[in-house]
Structures are given as C-alpha cells and as structure tokens.
C-alpha cells in the first residue's frame, strides 16, 4: 500500500518562495526543509524530475497531526487497555486507539467465538498487552461527526502492517511483528501478514505460554525460498533486543518501527541531532525530546559518535528516518506509579509552584520541574488563551529563560519522557481535577452535561472530573436540563472506570447523614444510610458508598414492612453482621411511635404523595457545645396520597395546598409512613398499646391488602407488629347477594375487637357496619359536616396562595363561554369569563338532549360544585337552576329543619357526596347527601339508589346545614339506637398525659393549632426523646366530648374517692364540695388586672354630666386625629402596625415593602427584615416582574450587608426566579454601592461571557470600569464588544462608549469615536446632533461649530439637511453672534436655491 504525501511536488515549474528568516515556514513531512535548485543541465538530458526542486531537511521537527500521513507506519507504546480497545501513545504526544478487530485476524476470530459462547481461547486485551508494550501499525485518521473532530486509529493487524513486504526479500535476521495463529504440540504457527511467507515458532523457542491472536516480535532464524512461497523458522524477541546489524546495502522498507540501530551523529541542530544509520546508507534525525535522558540537550552528544537508537517512523516518500535514544520505554511507563530513590514522580493534576523555564523548544516551552523532571507547555495551549489576533512575541515575552511559573501537570508522555503542563489560571485554580481529588462522602457542585439513556440518568462534570448520576440516585420532582448545577454527594469513585458516581437526593444531602465508606466501619449495631437497588421475594439488596453492598433478608423484618421496600428507596439500615465482604442488614428501631404527632416540612411533591422532613435533636450529645448549638438530625418520611384526607375527592386538593416548604403536623403510622388525616384523631385519643386493647374496643384501621375474600388491615396499636386479617363476611352485610367489595390501599375502616389471644398475640376483629356504627343519622350528618369543613379549609388555603379558583363560591352565578363537547364523556366544556385558567364543566345528564350552543357564545350559569384540585367549576346553565339555587352560606332555612319527604333533583354524584336541588319553593341552597352512612359503609347504602338527573324524596338530618338523606334511608334508621359506642366517646373522659419531665417555667410548652384543636408540644430535652417520644402531644378531647362526658359522670365523680388508677383524674375541688375553674395563667393575669382596675375605679370620684361630655369630646378628637393620620397618604408610617396597614393596602408595591424593611433594619431587626422580604416575594403578583425584581435586589442588598455567607444562595434564588440579565445588572449596582471591587470584577467577567450579545452588558461594564478607576480596560472592552455584537448594533455600541468617555471627562476619546462614526456614516443625522450636543456640554464651542460646518457640506436629503440647518442656526443664536446666525441663514438659502435648480 503506497501512501501519498500532501505537499510532495508533482512536477511543473511552480515558483515556490522560501522565507529564510522563519524556521517553521517550510515544515513538510514533519521536518524543516529548504529548497536547493539543481544546476542547469543540457536541455536534451533534462527530465521532468530533474526540473523539480529537491527537498533537503535542515531541522529535526517531531511528528505532528498534519505531518502524519495516512496509513503511515508508526511506533507506539501501550498506555492503557480495557475490554474493547487499547490506548496507544504515539510520537509527538499524540494518542491513537486500537480496537479488538485491529489486533490480528486470529484474535478477531477468537473474539467472535467468545461472543458465540466459546471462551476457551479468548484472553482480554489487558492480559495480552501490558502497559509500556511497544507496538507498531498503520495510522488511520477518522472523523467523528458528532464531536466534530478527527481521531487516530492504529491498525496492528500483520496482514495490513506487512502487506508491502515480499517473501522473497526476507533474509535471516529480519525482525517483524506477527500474531499467534494456531498453537500446536511442537510449536506455534505465526500469522505474518506477508503474502507467501509461512512462519513457525518451535516450543523450545517460546519463553512463555502464548495465546491465540497474541502479537509478538519475531526474528527470522532460518528461511527457505521458493518461487511462490517461502518458509521460515522464527524465534521470539523481547522489545529491548530488537537490534539490527549494520549493512552496506539495505532496503529501508524492511527496517520496521521499533527496531534498534546504530545512529552516527553528524550535526548538532537547534532542536535535535542529524546523523546516519546503516553505515551512512540513510539519513536520520533525533528530536530534542527523544534524547537518552529527559534533561539532555543536543550539545551533550559528540559528533561522529555512534549511539543506539530506536526507529520511531520513516516518512513514506522522502525515506527520512526519525529515531529516539530512549530505549528503556517500558521502565519509564511503569515508573509512573512507583517511588524512586530520588522521590515520588509527579501524578496527573499535581501543581508545581516554581517551574523554571529552560528554553523555547520544539512544540512549546521546556520547563524544569522540581529540579529533576522535564515539563512542556505547548504553544497550542498558549494560543488557546487568546481569541482573534495577538502578538506572538508579547505572548512569549513572559517565558524568558530561568523565569519561574506555577503549572499543573496534565499528563505524562512515555515516548518523550516528559510531563505536559499548563499554566492557564482556569486550570490552575480548578480544585477538582482528577478522580484522586474526590472521596466518597464529599459534597460537590456538579454540572449536567447530557442525559444518558442507557442508565436513565445524567452524565455530569465536577470540575474536570466526569461523573454519573444514576436514575435511582436522582432527586424526584426536579426538572433537569443540560448546564444545570446540582448539589451532590459523592457515593463512589471508580478509578478503573475513570468515573465517579453521585446522588442529589435529599437523604444523602441532609446534615446528620451517616455514610458507610469502608468495610471496616461496618460494625454491628451501627446505622448507615443506603439505597435499595434490588427487591426480591426473600431479600433486599442495598448499596452504600464505595460500592459496598448489603443484604436485608425479609425474615429479619416484621410482616408489616415486608412489602414496603421499592427500588430507589433511600433510608437508614442497621448493620446486623458481616461475612467477609457481604454485609448483613436489619432495620433500625422505630424513631417515631405510631400515633406520635410530629412537626414536618414538605420537601417534595411526588405522584404517590408528599415527601416530608422531620428535624429533631441528635442522640449524640456533645457536652462541649452550648445547648443552643446542639446537633440536629433529619428524618425523611412519606405521606401517601391516600393519607392526606379521609375523602378520596379531596386528596389531590390537599396535596395542592401543601407545596414544597410548607410546615405542618403529621402523625406517624408506620416507621417512615406518616398521615395528615390522622392528626385530629390522635390529637384527641390516646394511642392504644397491646396491653391496653380490650375486647369491645373500636379501633381505627387502614387497608393494606385486599383480595376477593380476605382483607389485611393495619392497626395503629403499639407493640403489635402484625396485620389483622378480616374475612369479607365480617365487613359487608350483603355479601351473600354477590355484591363486589371495592377497597383501596390505605382506605379508612373502623374495627371492633371480638377477641384477644395473649399467648399467640392475635386479635380477631369485625368491621361490619352494625358493629362499629351506633345507627344514629346525626353521626352521619357530622361526617358530611367534616367534609364540608375540609372543603372550606382548602378554599381558604388556596385563597392565601392567590389561586384564581378560590374566588368562586358554590351557588354563585358566573358568565361562561362555550368551548365544545368532550367526545369521551359528552360533557359540555366552558371557559369562565374573566378567568382563562378556570374550566367550566356541565355533565351530560344536565345537558340532556338539547342542541349545543355555538362555540364562543356567552351564557350565565350557576356553580354546583368546585374541583379545587383541577381548577374546574361544575356548573348548570338551566334557567330553573339559576333561579332556584341561592348562594351557599351553609345555613338551612328554619322552615326545612327536620323536614322529610322534600322532593329534589339529583344534580351531581361525586365520590363522597351527592348534590341535589329542591324542586319547589323559592331560592334555596343546594342540599348535600352523603354517599356513605359511615366509613365502613362500603356498599354506599346511603345513596345507592340515587342517580344523576333523577328525582327523589329527602329528609334533613342536620339542624343548621342543608344535609339530608333519601327518605327511604331515613325511615330505615329512624329511631334506631344501637349499643355500639365509638372509641372516641370511651376515651373522652381520659385525662391529659402526665408531664414527662419538669419544664422550666420560663419556657412554657408551645401550643399549636391542628385543625382547630389546641395541641401542646413538649420540646426535646437534651437531644433525647422524653418517655420514648420525640414529639409530645396533649391528647385533650374536644369540648363537645368533655361536656358530654361531664353530664354523664358528674354524679359519680363527686362521690368517688381517688385511687391508684384515677389519681391524676380527680378534681380536688370536688372533695371540698367546691367547683374549681380551670383557668390558664394568662386568664389569671387578666382577672387580676380587671380586679385592680375595678378597685382603682371605685376609688375615683364620679364624674359629673359636664365632665363626661368633655371627656367624650376629647376622646372623639383623639380618634379623629388617629383616623386622619391613617387616611393621609403622605403620612410616613412610624410603627409596625402602620407599615402592616400600608403593605395590605398596596400589596404589589415594592416601595412600601422596602420602606418596611428599612424601618426594621433601623431598629436592628435583621431577621424580621429578611422575613418581610420573603413575605413580599410571596405576596406580590407574579405578573409584577419589576416589583419582584426590586424585592430580590433589596434582599440581595440585605444579605450582602449583614450576612455575606448567605449571599450566594440568595443570588442563585434570584437568578432562578427573575430574568438573569436584569438580576446581574442590578447586582452590579449593589456591588458598586458596597464598594466590593473584586467581586464586581468577577461579576463583570461573568456577564460579559454569558450575555455577550447584549449591548447594555458592555455599557454597564464600561461604566463600572470607569467607576473603579480602571479606564485602561474600557478600550479593550469596546473591542471585545464589537467582536461579538451583531453589526447592526456596532454604531449604538460606539455611541454608548463615547457618552461614557464624555461623562468621565475623556473628551478626546469621545470625539475620536463619534468623529469616526460621522465620517463613515454621514447620513446618521442623530449622530451629528449627538456629537454637537456633547461638545456643547463639554464647553468645546469651536469644535462644535467645526462639526456643524462639516455637516452642512454633506449632500443629504432635504429633510435631513433641514434638521442640520435648524441645529446650526439654533447653535449660533445661543452661542454665537448675529453675524454667524445671518451666515447660517444665507447658507440655508443657497442650499434651497441649489435644490430648486436641480428639480428644474
């Protein structure tokens, strides 16, 4: 195969010019060459080749990517090997790749067999090729279209490498590279790649065991030639013994790269040595980087002396040989990881502080590192730091001989035996440059590069290090984009794969997280955070840091938790033991007990519910720290969607009212499962324990699993870790009729304890409606009332969140626009007039068979119900509904209380209630009927017979609210009084919990309002749980229950003496025959003050009628003054109440909020000012972008003034919520006001790089440089701006800079810029006028007159000339004389006359 060189002359008489001054202008084929014209010969003897110029090498340049010819033979050194390819180092610090198919034909055949399942002969590349192994092959340039760059592939196959050789020219002693094709009993058959040559290597000659496909160096020991083929016997040769004896006549094609020859030095060059090989048969060169020692120079080698050298490559057509004196390459490669006698070698990424410049050498600046190693800063890396034109002499001026610089080691080249370095500040300042800089457990900032579809995650960059975030380790509920910055925890650093694994899940980023990074730390009893990566029927596989894996056998956990694991779950595990490298796990003890109410913070909104975080004091007490600074831990739990509300149709709405960051209370159900709907229940009822459960108790339960016959229930009973199994016959009353039971996970049910087996610790329960319900319809009415109260609470919360849906009320009349008909449900779809985001929906049962209105037509409608989760109004456009349905005020007319047989129409049938409208009468509110009589009414017997659009008879069951049931149901349960008593009534008389520990009187227990109930919360004492609980709640019954219980037991309580069991319950005043009132400390203080006031008032003399009248007038005047002051818009607020009134009246005014902040800061209330800023950001409408930006700027200013450590976080928030460009421009002004020049410079560099196409960025930057007295940076900034801005903005840019120069008293520069514009663009009248105004403002009257003189000489359109003459005349009238003004008028008249002549 013949290689063609790009620049080789092919004849002709091209006039090639030579530049003798430049040593790099004539580099062809990897060496500097000069042209020597042959002497003129007689014309008849001249040939075409003799007319050509002969190339003569005069410099020993190294190989470059451009001089590397296609399919050229090159020697390389293996520097890395993996399963699919080899990384090979080439001369010139280039790297090539050799894939499996490029090794040999025999190895490709073995690899195919391995893929088919036969692995008997296959060996991996890392086993066949050690690091430092010398190879040679043909270089091929390949283009990568995706990355838009060219890479190198080195083909090592003997069939391609040796294809140009002929078997007849092979002689004894010939050295070449071959592959083991077949292993026989007496030897190995060699794959030579030379057509017609058969080679064999005897076993006696094999120094070690070989494998099929392996490449080895061979030397011909014996050879027999025939006409068609030759047979030779070879022996293996090590790479340090590839010596070729010198001969007078040798074919250079048979001296292959890697061979060792004698090199005779004939000339010392500036960048290497020139000499001869093979008894002066061929000329060769040795570059200065290929000498025997790294720090040697050409002067260290004497002329006419012979040295052993290894052939690197031969230029194909010029037959110039390039060699290296570094024969012991393998030792150099291995020495990277070893320690020598002189010290440890430099590793990649290390920084050398004082690297001394030795000289300007081939390819870059040669350095001395640590007084013993050779380094190189390439010219290419120096050029990459400059954009556009630059002066090379200026760039290289700082790299004078013996000057010292700080550099970072980028890598090591085994062929040239030097470290290639960089002094780029961005590279030097990078903290994370190699994998060795990272450790498991570190928290880093990672930048997303791209999405990896194979792993479902993202590839990221941490500094200069590559990383991966797998799908299981991604934080949920976050939108990921390329370029996004994430705060991550390093989980594993794989040096073999050259990558690190990270996670941005909150569980790993919490403050008190404990990570398992080494097997030695896996001690029994320790608790660590890990992620579930695999769930099987019998075990769960958990992964910790640094690839440590643990196994949790399900037999170690209770039956309640067997099915609670899922892949990707991150939680805490306890070490149960360790078997070699396998870690055995179990679950830690429950941090929270069932029924314990905890303050939680919502951290993520998931499809399955809400992820919450609980912060509590750590168990590890550090006595050296003050009490206020004790460590805290964070516990992550889940509130499933079903546990947000007792009612299915309100669950999504409750989720909407709890956005991320919401603080609320949740009740623990099971380890890390919490519930919001159980908070009122556990606030009023004491949580049952196994020992306190009695037969006949009615308990609250949750459905865990449901089948056709069996239902498994979870009971919130402490110390009872079993699921209760319930047969469907113990749930439904009509199971014998084949009615299907539809139950969902976590559905609420009540059960009655039928039996309790202490020995087996089992409970038998019943969930029949007749067992758990008293049969009173008043209880059903309370159920519907609680539903309506929860709907009202959702509305109020959404109203505070400024949700548009919250302004509508059931029963209101609205105007709607018809949009179309839903093809699936046939419902009529509307949009609400004035609220584009709200959808109106009329169900098909109400629409009937009538014709649909025209699309876009407006019509009135009445609101029947509101879906707060999906922003939908359920409406009716029927005229009779609009007239008969009044606005719902949740009050039942007095004439309907207790009525039955009331005829009504069913309008809507929802998941929990049925909405009806009374047929007769005037305007009445909507009537709500329950779908179930009780949570255990799974057959929906309350409204099973009701269907949308039907008429029915109703009976009202509530005295105040329009709540009713069908008349048939009312008659069925009327007067029924069952013995069943709900557990709430049984425990209502139980006392409050005993105080766990004495609490300091200065720190009273805080009370929290949970769904209208006052709940006391005992703080954590000394970081430990009190009585086994982290958070204590006072289970105080409701007032209604207290009154009811007092009425029943009052007589018994008076006559009963206190005993052991009821000692704390007893009212001590009852023993003395007195009634003691329970008054709080606040009430006692109020009573004392009232008594004191009465006493003082009694002492005063009574006022007469006249005195009373005067006092009333005085009080009236005082109140009037207060009202006038409050009503005066110009009155400056002076108190917090006045500021609160101001921001309530102007909620979208950033000025009012900022004044409020200033008032608080003047009183050193920094935290309150910060809270006001946050409150303003939440209050101001999202459409008021300017006002919001002002508030963010004020908050940034506050943090910069009082808490600089929090400044960066606030700035990131501001950038995420506002226009980044406007935010940065405001930041520049803030930094200027604080005189932070260094931070300001960094910000300017950032915005000029990030928003380089925005003109105002460059104007603001130049203004800032003037403000910092850095006027020398303004001109380069202008040049940068003109280089990146579109051409249509160049004039505006120059004008803006000219104005800045004028404002900063640099009139000369301003005139220069504007003068260039008016000269190049004379038609820009606005620039002429601006130029003149600027000169006038600077007091340069004569200069302004000269500019106007130039302007009137322009030949422009008449309308433009009119502007110039008016400007000139106005100028002379103000700043000149009457003579000058008359002259201008004369010039104008002459111009008009000339124009008239032209028109004629």
Q: Which pLDDT tens digit goes with each residue over 4-40?
A: 444 444 444 444 343 434 444 343 333 444 444 555 5
Express each pLDDT in 1364-1398 by its tens digit: 888 888 888 888 888 888 888 888 888 888 877 77
State the Cα–Cα distance between residues 1157 and 1139, nearest whole angstrom: 10
| For the chain, counts of helices (H) and of strands (E) | 36, 56
State the Cα–Cα distance between residues 471 and 468, nearest whole angstrom: 10
Using the predicted structure, report yes or no on whether residue 1221 has a pLDDT greater than 50. Answer: yes
What is the DSSP code string of 239-294?
A: GGG-B----SS--GGGS-TT-EEEEEEEEEETTEEEEEETTTTEEEEEEGGGSSST
Using the predicted structure, report yes or no on whether residue 1036 has a pLDDT greater than 70. Answer: no
- With contact defined as beta carbons under 8 Å apart, do 174 and 101 qualify? no
3-state DSSP of 112-152:
HHHHHCCCCCCCCHHHHCCCCCEEEEEEEEEEECCCCEEEE
Mean pLDDT of 508-532: 86
- With contact defined as beta carbons under 8 Å apart, do 950 and 963 qualify? no
Residue 930 confidence (pLDDT): 92
Mean pLDDT of 395-405: 88
β-partners of residue 724 are 713
Q: Which 8-state DSSP code applies to residue 911?
A: S
Task: Tell which residue, 745, 740, 689, has the closest CA to residue 715.
Answer: 689
Residue 123 confidence (pLDDT): 86
- With contact defined as beta carbons under 8 Å apart, do 214 and 206 qualify? no
- With contact defined as beta carbons under 8 Å apart, do 925 and 888 qualify? yes
SS3 state at 782: helix
- With contact defined as beta carbons under 8 Å apart, do 256 and 193 qualify? no
Confidence of residue 332 (pLDDT cuts 50, 70, 90): very low
State the Cα–Cα distance between residues 494 and 489, nearest whole angstrom: 15
More confident residue, 1067 or 310: 310
Contacts of residue 1360, Cβ cutoff 8 Å, sequence gap at least 6: 1323, 1325
Task: Tell which residue, 1024, 1009, 937, has the closest CA to residue 973.
Answer: 937
Instruction: Check the CA dihedral 901-904-910-913 and report its sign.
Output: negative
Residue 146 confidence (pLDDT): 61
- With contact defined as beta carbons under 8 Å apart, do 765 and 771 qualify? no
Confidence of residue 1325 (pLDDT cuts 50, 70, 90): confident
More confident residue, 1015 or 1155: 1155
What is the DSSP code string of 308-368?
A: EEEEEEE-TTT--EEEES---HHHHHHGGGSB-SS-BPPPTT-EEEEEEEEEEETTEEEEE
Residue 660 confidence (pLDDT): 87
Mean pLDDT of 56-66: 76
SS3 state at 655: helix
- Cα-based distances in Å from 1025 to 630, 689, 1008, 1326: 14, 19, 19, 77
Q: How many CB atoms lie within 10 A of CB 1074?
A: 10
Confidence of residue 561 (pLDDT cuts 50, 70, 90): low
Residue 483: which region, alpha, beta or left (left: phi > 0; alpha: psi -120 to 50)? left
State the Cα–Cα distance between residues 646 and 678, nearest whole angstrom: 9
State the Cα–Cα distance between residues 162 and 158, nearest whole angstrom: 6
**Residue positions counted in the chain:** 1400
Buried b (16+ CB within 10 A) or exposed e, 1342-1362: ebbbebbebbbeeebeeebbe
Mean pLDDT of 539-555: 86
Task: Tell which residue, 493, 484, 594, 705, has the closest CA to residue 1028.
Answer: 594
Express each pLDDT in 1159-1178 by its tens digit: 888 877 888 888 888 888 88
Task: Tell which residue, 164, 157, 414, has the closest CA to residue 310.
Answer: 414
Residue 265 confidence (pLDDT): 93
Sheet holding 27-28, edge to edge: 27-28, 31-36, 54-57
- Cα-based distances in Å from 13 to 9, 33, 50, 53, 187: 10, 19, 11, 9, 59
Task: State CA 1331 to chain mean position distance.
Answer: 50
Q: To which residue do tokens 């002004």 refer?
A: 1229
- What is the pairing mode between strands 835-842 and 872-876? parallel
Using the predicted structure, report yes or no on whether residue 1229 has a pLDDT greater than 50. Answer: yes
- For 296, phi and psi rounded to 5 degrees? -70, 155
Structure-token pair, residue 1197: 């200013």
- With contact defined as beta carbons under 8 Å apart, do 1192 and 1214 qualify? yes
- Cα-based distances in Å from 1248 to 808, 1145, 1208: 49, 41, 19
Rounded to the nearest integer, the mean pLDDT of the chain is: 79
- With contact defined as beta carbons under 8 Å apart, do 949 and 932 qualify? no
pLDDT > 90 fraction of the chain, expressed in percent and rounded: 16
């Amino acid at each position: 195969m013949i290689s063609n060189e790009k620049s080789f002359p092919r004849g002709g008489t091209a006039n090639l010019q030579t530049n003798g001054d430049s040593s790099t202008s004539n580099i062809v084929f990897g060496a500097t060459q000069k042209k020597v014209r042959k002497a003129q010969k007689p014309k008849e003897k001249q040939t075409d080749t003799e007319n050509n110029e002969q190339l003569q090498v005069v410099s020993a340049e190294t190989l470059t990517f451009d001089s590397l010819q296609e399919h050229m033979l090159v020697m390389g050194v293996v520097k890395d090997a993996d399963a699919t390819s080899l990384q090979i180092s080439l001369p010139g610090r280039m790297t090539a790749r050799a894939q499996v198919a490029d090794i040999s034909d025999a190895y490709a055949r073995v690899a195919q067999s391995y893929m088919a399942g036969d692995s008997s002969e296959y060996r991996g590349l890392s086993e066949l090729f050690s690091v430092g192994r010398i190879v040679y092959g043909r270089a091929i340039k390949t283009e990568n279209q995706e990355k838009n760059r060219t890479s190198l592939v080195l083909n090592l196959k003997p069939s391609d490498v040796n294809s140009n050789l002929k078997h007849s020219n092979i002689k004894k002693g010939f050295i070449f590279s071959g592959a083991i094709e077949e292993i026989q009993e007496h030897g190995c058959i060699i794959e030579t790649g030379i057509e017609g040559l058969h080679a064999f290597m005897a076993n006696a000659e094999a120094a070690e065991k070989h494998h099929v496909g392996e490449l080895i160096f061979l030397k011909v020991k014996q050879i027999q030639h025939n006409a068609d083929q030759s047979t030779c016997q070879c022996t293996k040769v090590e790479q340090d013994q590839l010596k070729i004896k010198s001969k007078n006549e040798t074919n250079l094609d048979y001296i292959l790269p890697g061979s060792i020859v004698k090199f005779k030095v004939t000339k010392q060059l500036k960048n290497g040595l020139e000499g001869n090989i093979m008894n002066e048969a061929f000329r060769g060169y040795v570059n200065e980087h290929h000498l025997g020692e790294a720090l040697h120079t050409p002067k260290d080698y004497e002329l006419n002396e012979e040295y052993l050298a290894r052939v690197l490559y031969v230029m194909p057509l010029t037959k110039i040989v390039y060699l290296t004196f570094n024969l012991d390459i393998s030792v150099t490669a291995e020495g990277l990881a070893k320690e020598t006698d002189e010290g440890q070698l430099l590793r990649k990424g290390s920084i050398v502080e004082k690297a001394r410049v030795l000289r300007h050498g081939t390819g870059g600046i040669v350095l001395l590192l640590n007084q013993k190693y050779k380094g190189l800063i390439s010219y290419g890396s120096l050029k990459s730091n400059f954009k556009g034109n630059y002066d090379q002499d200026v760039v290289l001026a700082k790299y004078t001989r013996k000057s010292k610089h700080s550099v970072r080691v980028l890598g090591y080249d085994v062929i040239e035996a030097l470290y290639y370095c960089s002094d780029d500040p961005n590279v030097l300042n990078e903290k994370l440059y190699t994998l060795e800089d990272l450790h498991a457990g570190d928290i880093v900032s990672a930048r997303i590069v791209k999405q990896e579809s194979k792993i479902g995650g993202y590839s990221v960059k941490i500094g200069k290090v590559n990383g991966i975030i797998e799908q299981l380790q991604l934080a949920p509920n976050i939108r990921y984009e390329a370029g996004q910055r994430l705060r991550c925890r390093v989980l594993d650093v794989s040096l073999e794969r050259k990558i690190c694994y990270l996670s941005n899940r909150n569980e790993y980023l919490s403050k008190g997280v404990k990570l398992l990074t080494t097997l030695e730390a896996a001690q029994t009893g320790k608790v660590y955070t890990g992620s579930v990566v695999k769930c099987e029927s019998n075990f769960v596989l958990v992964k910790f840091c640094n690839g440590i894996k643990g196994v949790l056998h399900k037999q170690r956990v209770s039956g309640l938790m067997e099915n609670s694991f899922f892949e990707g779950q991150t939680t805490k595990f306890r070490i149960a033991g360790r078997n070699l490298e396998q870690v055995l796990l179990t679950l830690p003890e429950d941090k929270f007990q069932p029924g314990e109410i905890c303050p939680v913070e919502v951290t993520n909104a998931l499809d399955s519910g809400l992820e919450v975080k609980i912060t509590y004091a750590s168990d590890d007490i550090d006595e050296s720290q003050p009490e206020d600074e004790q460590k805290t831990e964070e516990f992550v739990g889940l509130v499933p969607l079903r546990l947000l509300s007792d009612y299915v149709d309100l669950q999504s709405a409750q989720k909407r009212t709890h956005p991320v960051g919401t603080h609320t209370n949740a009740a623990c159900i099971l380890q890390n499962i919490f519930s919001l709907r159980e908070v009122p229940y556990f606030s009023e009822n004491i949580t049952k324990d196994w020992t306190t459960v009695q037969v006949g108790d009615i308990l609250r339960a949750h459905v865990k699993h449901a089948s056709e016959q069996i239902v498994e229930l979870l009971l919130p009973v402490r110390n009872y870790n079993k699921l209760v199994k319930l047969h469907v016959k113990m749930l439904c009353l009509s199971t014998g009729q084949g009615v299907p039971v539809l139950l969902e996970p976590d559905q609420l049910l009540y059960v009655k304890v039928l039996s309790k087996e202490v020995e087996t610790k089992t409970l038998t329960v019943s969930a029949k409606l007749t067992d758990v319900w008293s049969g009173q319809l008043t209880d059903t009415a309370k159920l519907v009332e609680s539903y309506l109260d929860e709907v009202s609470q959702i509305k109020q919360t959404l109203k505070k969140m400024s949700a548009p849906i919250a302004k509508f009320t059931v029963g209101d009349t609205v105007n709607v626009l018809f949009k179309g008909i839903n093809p699936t449900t046939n419902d009529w779809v509307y949009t609400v007039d004035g609220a584009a985001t709200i959808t109106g929906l009329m169900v098909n049962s109400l629409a009937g068979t009538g014709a649909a209105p025209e699309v876009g037509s407006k019509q009135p409608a009445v609101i029947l119900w509101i879906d707060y989760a999906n922003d939908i109004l359920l409406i009716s456009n029927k005229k009779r509904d609009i007239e008969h349905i009044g606005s719902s005020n949740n009050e039942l007319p007095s004439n309907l209380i207790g009525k039955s047989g009331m005829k009504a129409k069913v309008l809507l049938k929802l998941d929990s209630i049925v909405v009806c409208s009374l047929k007769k009468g005037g305007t009445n509110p909507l009537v709500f009927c329950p779908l179930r009589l009780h949570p255990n009414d799974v057959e929906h017997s309350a409204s099973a017979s009701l269907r949308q659009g039907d008429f029915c008879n109703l009976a009202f069951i509530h005295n105040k609210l329009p709540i009713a049931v069908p008349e048939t149901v009312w008659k069925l349960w009327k007067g029924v009084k069952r013995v069943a008593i709900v557990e709430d009534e049984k425990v209502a008389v139980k006392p409050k919990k005993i105080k766990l520990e004495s609490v300091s009187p200065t720190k009273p227990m805080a009370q929290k309002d949970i769904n209208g109930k006052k709940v006391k919360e005992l703080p954590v004492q000394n970081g430990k749980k009190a009585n086994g609980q982290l958070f204590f709640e006072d289970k105080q019954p409701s007032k209604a229950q207290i009154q009811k219980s007092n009425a029943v037991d009052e007589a018994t309580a008076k006559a009963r003496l206190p005993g052991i069991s009821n000692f704390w319950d007893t009212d001590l005043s009852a023993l003395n025959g007195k009634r003691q009132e329970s008054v709080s400390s606040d009430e006692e203080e109020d009573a004392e003050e009232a008594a004191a006031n009465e006493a003082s008032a009694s002492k005063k003399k009574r006022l007469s009628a006249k005195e009373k009248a005067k006092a009333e007038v005085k009080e009236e005047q005082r109140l009037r003054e207060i009202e006038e002051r409050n009503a005066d818009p110009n009155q400056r607020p002076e108190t917090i109440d006045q500021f609160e009134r101001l921001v309530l009246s102007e909620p979208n005014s950033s000025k009012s909020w900022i004044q409020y902040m200033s008032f608080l800061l003047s009183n050193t209330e920094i935290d309150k000012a910060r809270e006001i800023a946050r409150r303003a950001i939440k209050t101001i409408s999202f459409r008021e972008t300017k006002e919001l930006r002002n508030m963010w700027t004020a908050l940034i200013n506050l943090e910069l003034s009082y808490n600089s450590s929090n400044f960066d976080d606030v700035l990131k928030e501001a950038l995420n919520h506002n226009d980044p460009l406007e935010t940065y421009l405001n930041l520049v002004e803030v930094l200027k006001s604080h005189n932070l020049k260094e931070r300001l410079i960094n910000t300017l560099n950032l915005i000029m790089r990030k928003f380089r196409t925005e003109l105002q960025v460059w104007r603001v930057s130049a203004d800032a440089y003037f403000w910092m007295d850095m006027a020398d940076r303004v001109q380069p900034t202008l040049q940068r701006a003109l280089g990146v801005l579109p051409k249509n903005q160049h004039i505006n840019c120059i004008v803006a800079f000219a104005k800045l120069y004028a404002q900063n008293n640099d009139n000369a520069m301003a005139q220069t810029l504007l003068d260039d514009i008016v000269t190049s663009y004379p038609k820009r009248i606005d620039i002429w006028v601006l130029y003149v105004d600027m000169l006038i403002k600077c007091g340069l009257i004569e200069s302004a007159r000269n500019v106007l003189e130039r302007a009137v000489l322009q030949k422009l359109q008449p309308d433009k000339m009119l502007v110039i003459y008016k400007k000139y005349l106005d100028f002379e009238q103000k700043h000149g004389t009457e003579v000058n003004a008359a002259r201008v008028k004369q010039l104008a008249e002459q111009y008009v006359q000339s124009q008239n002549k032209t028109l004629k």
